[in-house]
Structure 1
Amino acid sequence: MSQTVDRALSILPLLAEGPANLEQVAQRLGVHKSTALRLLRTLHEHGIVYRQPDQRYRLGARLFALAQQAVENLDVREVAHPHLVELNRVCGHTVHLAVHEDDEVTYIDKVESRYPVRMYSRIGKPVAITVAAVAKLLLADLPEPERRALAERLDYPRYTARSTPGPAAFLAELATVREQGWATDLGGHEESINCVAAPVRGADGRAVAALSLSAPNVVVTREQLLDLLPLVRRTAAAVSAEYAGKPLAAPHPASPPGPLPPHPSEQGTT
């Protein structure tokens, strides 16, 4: 690794904490102030850092523009697809990826089951928003006022006896999903179809998509599908890590997956 590049990149986390002067930067890097100044000047010329009138440095607008451009050009479907294929290879059931836009949750990718008896779905089709596991995950991630407003304006079709009956029940289920970090649809849309799902999160911790595993109960029982939930959660975590550009710590093969971390909006609370 280039020492100069390494030192320059080490400045960015420091300035992310707030503006810093030349002496603080040099001290953090463990270099002479003249070396720190050369690095800061180069970053300043490229708009990555900005020198304030008080001679302190902060992160520059160009850095934020580049980050925004990278996010806009990052396709969660492209990142997730190989993971969906691998999940399907391991278990054989239908795998979906869905996103939430404009009060609809829509499938954006699908890997079909290898079993002859399958559920019907297609890419681009909105899901049954009040019962689908992917919808529960994505809506549970919304701020509470948005969740409540959306719950009140939705219709609640009685697809089956297990369908969500109304806003109060829906909000209660979203609260449970938000706390536990995963969701199910156990016969809520079609009595013969069960589904388990986990969220795909971006760098800010928000759910950008939801990944699900679905199967008819003539192929696998409800209990057997629930046994695959840890695999679904690990797959979603792997997609999240790649999408967010963060390393994923591999769990010990013999260890069951531990609980998910608190929801981003609840971190630091008791």
Structure 2
Amino acid sequence: MSQTVDRALSILPLLAQGPADLGQVAERLGVHKSTALRLLRTLHEHGLVYRQQDQRYRLGARLFALAQEAVENLDVREIAHPHLVALNEQIGHTIHLAVYEESEVLYIDKVESRYPVRMYSRIGKPVAITVAAVAKLLLADLPEAERRALAEKLDYPMYTSRSIPNRVAFLKELAVVREQGWATDLGGHEESINCIGAPIRGADGRVVAAMSVSAPNVVVTAEELLSLLPLVRRTADVISREYSGAAPSGDGPRTPRGNTPPKEAS
């Protein structure tokens, strides 16, 4: 990447934190104000940056439009969304859809819970990669060499006492997830939040996305959430068939009866 392009792109995450004036941009980039001004003008011409009346710069509307367009053109999101909404209408909990891109797991869709408690998560935001159920599902499907190389590079923050502490434990968890075909995060990122997830697969059987259902333990216990796993997996299977173009089997999302909750992943 050329130095000019690199500098121009570096302005965007700076302005994502809030409006900044020319001096602040120049200082952050480590360049003269004239260089910073030239870069800002170019970004402004493309609608990616906007100059306010107070002479500070902020992100432009064109950037948000491009981001929204990119999200909407992710086929798996378009296909999955109505199924996620239908599942949310049945169970009421927060539902996420995520994909793996360039060593990050990102949320590409979210359906909010029907109760007042809200989760701090946003579309486009990276997840806590070592603990999130969707991350475990996506990384567990990677080829072994890639999986091990990634695990070697990751940090392992202890968000709670139930967070995965190191590479060995992480690889062990991914092996379990790969074998069983579902994943959990039971208080690993936030003590009060539990999550279960299932993979969405393409025609070749590879995991192209992962969906999850999350709820605070003041609303449902971990055991109650785990009892929904068969329904979550069926929803993921329906999305997978539609995404891969397979013939529908007629077993769309419905409330399971008489299911025994699966054991928690170690």
TM-score (structure 2 length as normaliser): 0.67
Q: Conserved in 1, the CA contact under 8 Å of 2:140 and 2:174?
A: yes
- Alpha-carbon distance in 1 for matches of 2:122, 2:79: 19
Match of 1:146 in 2: 146
Q: For 1:109, what is the secondary structure of its paired residue?
A: strand
- Alpha-carbon distance in 2 for matches of 1:151, 1:135: 12
Number of residue pairs aligned between Structure 1 and Structure 2: 186
Match of 2:200 in 1: 200
Match of 1:165 in 2: 165
Task: Write the mapping of 1:1-270 to structure 2, written as runs, cut at 5 A.
Answer: 75-250=75-250
Q: Conserved in 2, the CA contact under 8 Å of 1:79 and 1:243?
A: yes
Paired residue type of 1:242: E
Q: Conserved in 1, the CA contact under 8 Å of 2:136 and 2:174?
A: yes
- Alpha-carbon distance in 2 for matches of 1:256, 1:249: 21
Q: For 1:124, what is the secondary structure of its paired residue?
A: coil
- In the TM superposition, what whole-angstrom CA distance separates every residue of 1:195-235 from its partner, at most 9, and x where no partner exists? 00000000110000001000000011000000000010000
Paired residue type of 2:216: P
Paired residue type of 1:153: K
Q: Conserved in 2, the CA contact under 8 Å of 1:197 and 1:212?
A: yes
- Alpha-carbon distance in 2 for matches of 1:121, 1:255: 31
Q: CA deviation at 1:125?
A: 0.4
- Alpha-carbon distance in 2 for matches of 1:134, 1:154: 16
Paired residue type of 2:164: T
Q: Conserved in 2, the CA contact under 8 Å of 1:196 and 1:225?
A: yes
- Alpha-carbon distance in 2 for matches of 1:234, 1:195: 16
- Alpha-carbon distance in 2 for matches of 1:105, 1:127: 6
Superposed structure 1 runs of 4+ greater than 2 Å apart: 248-257
Q: CA deviation at 1:250?
A: 3.9
TM-score (structure 1 length as normaliser): 0.66
Q: CA deviation at 1:120?
A: 1.2
Q: For 1:155, what is the secondary structure of its paired residue?
A: coil
Instruction: Give ranges in structure 2 of 5+ residues lacking alignment.
Output: 1-72, 260-266
- Alpha-carbon distance in 1 for matches of 2:131, 2:138: 12
- Alpha-carbon distance in 2 for matches of 1:130, 1:248: 34
- Alpha-carbon distance in 2 for matches of 1:192, 1:89: 23
Paired residue type of 2:161: A
Q: For 1:134, what is the secondary structure of its paired residue?
A: helix
Instruction: Give ranges in structure 1 of 5+ residues lacking alignment.
Output: 1-72, 258-270
Q: Conserved in 2, the CA contact under 8 Å of 1:131 and 1:164?
A: yes
Paired residue type of 1:191: E
- In the TM superposition, what whole-angstrom CA distance separates every residue of 1:1-21 from its partner, at most 9, and x where no partner exists? xxxxxxxxxxxxxxxxxxxxx
- Alpha-carbon distance in 1 for matches of 2:241, 2:258: 19
Q: Conserved in 1, the CA contact under 8 Å of 2:163 and 2:189?
A: yes
Paired residue type of 1:155: D
- Alpha-carbon distance in 1 for matches of 2:116, 2:151: 36
- Alpha-carbon distance in 1 for matches of 2:132, 2:235: 19
Q: Conserved in 2, the CA contact under 8 Å of 1:118 and 1:215?
A: no
Q: Conserved in 2, the CA contact under 8 Å of 1:131 and 1:185?
A: yes
Change beyond 3 A, Cα 1:74–1:193: closer
Q: CA deviation at 1:255?
A: 7.7
Q: For 2:107, what is the secondary structure of its paired residue?
A: strand
- Alpha-carbon distance in 2 for matches of 1:206, 1:191: 31
Q: Conserved in 1, the CA contact under 8 Å of 2:164 and 2:188?
A: yes
Q: CA deviation at 1:149?
A: 0.4
Bigger Rg, which one: 1
Q: CA RMSD in A?
A: 1.9
